[in-house]
Amino acid sequence: MTIIVYELVGGDASRPFSPHCWKTLMSLAHKGLDYRREPVPFTGVPKVEGGAGKTVPIIRDGERVVVDSFDIALYLDEAYPDRPSLFGGEGGKSMARFVEAWTATQINAVIIGHIVQEIHQMLAPDDQTYFRQSREERFGMSLEECRQATQERFDSLKGRLDPLRLMLKRQPFIGGESPLFCDYIVFGAFQWSRICSPVELLDTDDPVNDWFQSLLDLYDGLGRSVPAAA
Amino acid sequence: MTIIVYELVGGDASRPFSPHCWKTLMSLAHKGLDYRREPVPFTGVPKVEGGAGKTVPIIRDGERVVVDSFDIALYLDEAYPDRPSLFGGEGGKSMARFVEAWTATQINAVIIGHIVQEIHQMLAPDDQTYFRQSREERFGMSLEECRQATQERFDSLKGRLDPLRLMLKRQPFIGGESPLFCDYIVFGAFQWSRICSPVELLDTDDPVNDWFQSLLDLYDGLGRSVPAAA
């Protein structure tokens, strides 16, 4: 049975950019499952599957609807235990929550201020209105002010990646010799930036860049199916 | 059979302070294994078990000698598979390397500048000479200059703990519902500071402090067997 994955898109449905949706695409590919992608604009999310969740990704697998990229990964491991695991055991499920929290606070929260205007420009008109209002309320400033107000944080990004850089001296993926969901969590952040903004986050000689490029190569170059922003 | 654990001490053998040795003590207690502690000063490390390693902890378990807190934890899980696991599976072994790298770069590297003079004061005279020379060479400045030179980093410590803080909203330990070696890695850092310096790193209403206190309570208060620095 083909799994339906609802994923966020802007005005151009061929450039899905949501970091969380990318985690789910990589998870489905990791499990080797058939899936069909359903594009959803921001303002369409409340209508998905009769209002199943407030955010995408959402998947439908037969009778089952699952919301949230982490919960989807947990579901996929439970429903398809004979396919490659996304967590590598119970300890991995718990520690992936730490990787998730690290990514949210140290990467995504740093990138957003830098690319929020680019995201806005990618959206269809109705979504632009929703996005500007909700994000300006969240950040307490206009979208146009965000970049300058968060520049210092953004400049600190490379240093914040030291944990990943040090770990990569020992093993090629956070999951060990091959990637697990924890890698896709961090991948989602860099893929989001890659698709929304032409600013390169990583130097070409940074081991973190090598790691990211190898994840872009996976599953017949799934991540490269959307070209980088020019 | 009783496992011998060689652990670093200063002039007062009742106040072992090494973050890495604390990881191993917690690991042995987690596994419920009998152990005997052998105090070793810095300058005694090269003589342990005929020069088995350049650092402690080192353990001897019968014929087997193992060096390094992470390798010891891996060994204990392999040698005693019927006792509670320290990693919770293969994924956990890999992701614990990320927690290790995060702790090394974001916590230990920040704390050291602040407590290096206190550590020096705790050592026996021979060790003081070794420690001052090796650390001044490593840091490129006198021990007395370290604190001021690294004050800005130290002031950033609370913010660096955001990943742990966010994760703790979801689960009580990095290992999930109960602690794993990954928790002991981070615990070691705070225990090191607690024993060497009277400066409180964590506010009493910080969820990270609650987590640390609950780890100090474990195994009949093993961590509290050394009182905090006054």
Give me chain B's average pLDDT, please: 97
Average pLDDT over residues A66-85: 98
Residue B150, pLDDT score: 93
- Does B94 sit within 8 Å of A90, measured CB to CB? no
Relative orientation angle of helices B90-103 and A181-196, to the nearest 10 degrees: 60
| pLDDT tens per residue across span A121-132 | 999 999 999 999
- Does B176 sit within 8 Å of A93, measured CB to CB? yes
Identify residue A61 by its one-letter amino acid code.
D
**Interatomic CA distance for residues B177 and B187, integer angstroms:** 16
| pLDDT tens per residue across span B50-67 | 999 999 999 999 999 999
Give the ipTM of the model, two decimals please.
0.98
Q: Which of B95, B110, B153, B167 to probe by mutation at the A interface, max A CB count within 10 Å?
A: B95
Residue B68, pLDDT score: 98
Residue B1, pLDDT score: 84
State both tokens at B24. 């191993």
Choose which CATH entry (3.40.190.10, 3.40.50.920, 3.10.129.10, 3.40.30.10) describes domain B3-79. Answer: 3.40.30.10
CB A5 within 8 A of CB A53: no
| pLDDT tens per residue across span A32-71 | 999 999 999 999 999 999 999 999 999 999 999 999 999 9
- Does A93 sit within 8 Å of B175, measured CB to CB? no
Share of chain B above pLDDT 90, in %: 99
Q: Where in chain B is the domain with CATH 3.40.30.10?
A: 3-79
| pLDDT tens per residue across span B168-197 | 999 999 999 999 999 999 999 999 999 999
* DSSP annotation string for A69-95: HHHHHHHHHHH-TTSPPSSSSHHHHHH
* C-alpha torsion sign, points A136, A137, A138, A140: positive
Nearest Cα of chain A lies from the Cα of B71 at a distance, in angstroms, of: 13
Fold of A90-223: Glutathione S-transferase Yfyf (Class Pi); Chain A, domain 2 (1.20.1050)
Is the minimum CB–CB distance between A92 and chain B shorter than 8 Å? yes
Q: What phi, psi does A18 have (nearest 5°)?
A: -60, 125
User: Out of B102, B166, B174, whose CB is closest to A104?
Assistant: B166
Average pLDDT over residues B26-37: 98
Region of residue A84 (left: phi > 0; alpha: psi -120 to 50; beta: else): beta
B90-222 domain in CATH 3.40.50.150? no
Residue A73, pLDDT score: 98
Average pLDDT over residues B201-205: 96
Residue A1, pLDDT score: 84
**Interatomic CA distance for residues A57 and A71, integer angstroms:** 10
Rg, chain B, Cα only: 17
- Does A94 sit within 8 Å of B176, measured CB to CB? yes
Q: Which of A95, A105, A164, A184 to probe by mutation at the B interface, max B CB count within 10 Å?
A: A95
Average pLDDT over residues B121-135: 96
Is the minimum CB–CB distance between A73 and chain B shorter than 8 Å? no
User: Out of B88, B95, B171, whose CB is closest to A99?
Assistant: B95
Q: Give the contacts of B194 (CB within 8 A, at least 6 positions apart).
A: B201, B228, B229
Q: Where in chain B is the domain with CATH 1.20.1050.10?
A: 90-222
Nearest Cα of chain A lies from the Cα of B105 at a distance, in angstroms, of: 6
Nearest Cα of chain A lies from the Cα of B87 at a distance, in angstroms, of: 6
Interface of B with A in 137-166 (CB under 8 A): 162-166
Relative orientation angle of helices B69-79 and B90-103, to the nearest 10 degrees: 160
Which strands, in side-by-side order, build the sheet including B64-67?
Answer: B35-40, B3-8, B58-61, B64-67
